[in-house]
Amino acid sequence: MAHGTGLFRLPGTDFMPNESVWTINGLLVAVFGLVVFVGARWFLRREHSTPN
C-alpha cells in the first residue's frame, strides 16, 4: 500500500505507474482473502464433521 503512495519503493517496479501497482496490490489482497476464506470454511467443515 505504501508503494502506491510513493512512501516506499519496491525494487524492480520503478517502471510501473502507480495505478498498476495499486491494481496488483488489490489483486494480491483479494487472492489472499479468498484463500483465507476457503481455508477457513474447509477447516471449520472438517472440524464439525466429527461425530460427538
One pLDDT digit (tens) per residue for the chain, 52 residues: 455 556 666 666 667 777 787 888 889 999 999 999 999 998 888 777 656 5
Domain that holds residue 19: 2-48
**Helix, coil or strand: residue 33:** helix
The sign one gets for the Cα dihedral 39, 41, 45, 48 is positive
Q: Provide the whole-model pTM.
A: 0.56
Q: What is the domain count for the chain?
A: 1
| Residue labelled with grid coordinates 510501473 | 16
CB-CB contact of 37 with 23 (8 Å): no
How many other C-beta atoms are found inside a 10 Å radius of the C-beta of residue 49?
7
